[in-house]
Amino acid sequence: MNFSKVKTTILAGAMVFGLGVGQSSAETLKYAFQGSLKSLDPYSLNETFTLGFLGNVYEGLIRRGPDLNIQPALATSWEVLEPTKWRFHLRRGVKFHNGNDFNADDVIFSADRVRAEGSDLTTRIPKDAKFVKVDDHTVDVILTSANPILHYEWGTWSIIDKEWAEANDSVKVTSASDDNATKISLEANGTGPFKITKHDVGVSTSLVPNNGWWDTPKHNLTKIEFTTIASDATRVAALLSGDLDMVYPIPVQDLKRVDSNDGTRALIGPELRTIFLGMDQIRDELLESNIKGKNPFKDVRVRKAFYQAINIEAIKKKVMRDLADPSSIMISPFLFSNSGDFVRYPYDVAASKALLTEAGYPDGFEVGMDCPNDRYVNDEAICQAVTAMLAKAGIKVNLNAQPKSKYFAKVLASNSFETSFFLLGWTPGSLDSWNVISNLHGCRDEKGKGSPFNLGGYCNPKVDELAKQILVENDPAKRDGLITEAFRITTDEVAYIPLHQQGLAWGVSDKITLEQRADNQFMMYYVTKN
């Protein structure tokens, strides 16, 4: 059915029912995502979708452009006066949606609030950083130690209006355990390009442009309607039928259909999340293995044998249908300039077997594997492929794939890292290597102290030392050198087995143009519709 015919049908339908055609005017963007908007309080949940959505309503001192470069937003410029003292010049004449002026008090208020109890975004600002008001449009940040990436995560640190929050009993962060919803969790008052007009919790949210926005809008939208559609098939059908202009994510098996359909296209690109396998290297005996009295994963040869048994190209082609970029390190090449220096250990079953023999396991061994089945793109299928590949090297993997709610309850620190071999994904929130090195590679104790997300417990004091230096090194070239050194060590020691960066898959109607950001945040102010 061609497009004009569709239009006629719709028009005829509208006429028959005598309903306004104006509601489906050309500039209404209708889109759907798989998950729902949990709370409108920008500090309640550190999750890509929520932060991305609210990034259209609220703004930070900086923002990220289409290719994730840092742009000035509510701060027009900033300078590092001393290594531990930063000065931010705030944009003048900016107003919140309710008409209040934006000034230094709002920044200081937001800095306190984002670090307050109940906030899920406490990592945005170092705990001991002091915010000092110089004048109404200048703020100094005093640090206890140098931090070259201080502002990296500030694109998702929304500035809240102090007066509004105080007047509406919303000073306290709407925490995950709160009993009643505060105003800020149901309404929004930002400085951003769109205003929320209607928020039907868990179902749909409507926005209209903020005409008083300080920046020149690139979009031509007059209204936005967001809906949650959890079912994959329904979401795809809603796009194909023309009911929606944009939906994401598209399941990999439907990409072809979306692309070949008249009037829609699949927009794919590399995402920042790295999917990897981890191994318990801290216990003296694995929890789930037939090897007793010792832990085979403590031997680097075993870890390397696992690595080389994995046919990453097959996973890319068969499981991910080409929607993945095999990765040689634990961070997206997009986020680390020297990543080209690293190559994957080649897929080689013979070498893998030889390594296992050398390590004293000529007949392989048995190990349990934990895997989520609803968290990452085709996560369970990847684990099944890995299981089959390792079988060829003589390793018998007992796969335990479960929903994320069960999976995370089992493997995280709260359950004492009860896993021997697992699949996990990680996106550095700061878009920087330090986050990866410190969160995934730092030494930790059994409780997780030190590096709580290092589930396998890999530890090398040299890497810890490098992480400390990276954190305070202000010179970019030197810093990259240190990062390379750290990744060199962790790669040589096979701290993890990186698999790939999974792909973004958005379904887009030909009626709209947009920018696809690698962090999977959908910024509606880049959308034009005709």
Partner 1 sequence: MLAFMIRRVFQSVIVMFVVALISFLLFRFVGDPVNQMVGIETTPEQRDALRVQLGLNDPVLTQFWRFIMGAVQLDFGTSYQFKQSVAAMIGKRAPATLELSLISAVFATVVGIPMGVYTGLKRDSWLSKMFLTVSLVGISLPTFLIGILFIFVFAVQFQVLPSFGRGEVVDLGYWNTGLLTASGLKALILPSITLGLFQMTLIMRLVRSEMLEVMRTDYIKFARARGLTRRAVNFGHALKNTLVPVITITGLQLGSVIAFAIITETVFSWPGMGLLFLNSVQNVDIPIMAAYLMLIGFLFVTINLIVDLLYVAVDPRIRVTGVEL
The yes or no reply on residue 412 touching partner 1 (CB under 8 A) is yes
In this chain, which of 100, 204, 328, 338 binds partner 1, going by CB under 8 A? 204
In this chain, which of 98, 398, 439, 460 binds partner 1, going by CB under 8 A? 439
The yes or no reply on residue 179 touching partner 1 (CB under 8 A) is yes
Smallest separation, CB 435 to partner 1 (Å): 8
- 242-271: which residues touch partner 1 (CB under 8 A)? 242-243
C-alpha distances out from residue 62 to 98, 157, 358, Å: 22, 9, 53
Cβ proximity of 370 and 423 under 8 Å: yes
The yes or no reply on residue 23 touching partner 1 (CB under 8 A) is yes
The yes or no reply on residue 469 touching partner 1 (CB under 8 A) is no
Region near partner 1 per CB under 8 A, out of 61-69, 101-109, 288-296, 403-411: 403-411
Our CB check for partner 1 shows the closer of 23 and 77 to be 23
Site string for partner 1, 276-315 (x = CB under 8 A): ----------------------------------------
The yes or no reply on residue 418 touching partner 1 (CB under 8 A) is no
Our CB check for partner 1 shows the closer of 413 and 489 to be 413
Cα separation, 321 vs 306, in Å, equals 23
C-alpha distances out from residue 354 to 346, 350, 495, Å: 14, 6, 20
Look up tokens 């034009």; give the residue.
Answer: 528
Cα separation, 260 vs 411, in Å, equals 41
Smallest separation, CB 5 to partner 1 (Å): 9
Our CB check for partner 1 shows the closer of 235 and 316 to be 235
Cβ proximity of 207 and 10 under 8 Å: no
The yes or no reply on residue 448 touching partner 1 (CB under 8 A) is yes
- Closest CA relative to residue 159, chosen from 97, 237, 201, 218: 97
Prior bond of 249 cis (ω within 30°): yes
The yes or no reply on residue 528 touching partner 1 (CB under 8 A) is no
DSSP state at residue 101? B
The yes or no reply on residue 231 touching partner 1 (CB under 8 A) is yes
Smallest separation, CB 254 to partner 1 (Å): 12
In this chain, which of 217, 269, 333, 452 binds partner 1, going by CB under 8 A? 452
Query: Residue 159: CB partners within 8 Å, gap ≥ 6?
Result: 58, 59, 60, 61, 74, 102, 106, 107, 110, 190, 191
Cβ proximity of 427 and 272 under 8 Å: yes
Q: How many residues does the chain have?
A: 530
Handedness of CA 117, 123, 127, 129 (dihedral sign): negative
- 338-397: which residues touch partner 1 (CB under 8 A)? 374
Query: Residue 507: CB partners within 8 Å, gap ≥ 6?
Result: 235, 236, 239, 246, 247, 248, 250, 258, 264, 265, 266, 267
Region near partner 1 per CB under 8 A, out of 3-11, 82-90, 315-323, 461-469: 3-11
- Closest CA relative to residue 243, chosen from 60, 511, 45: 511
In this chain, which of 176, 313, 360, 513 binds partner 1, going by CB under 8 A? 176
Binding site for partner 1 (CB under 8 A): 1, 6, 9-10, 13-14, 16-19, 23, 32, 36, 38-39, 44-47, 120-123, 174-181, 185, 200-204, 227-231, 233-235, 237-238, 240-243, 374, 403-409, 412-415, 426, 429, 439, 447-448, 452-453
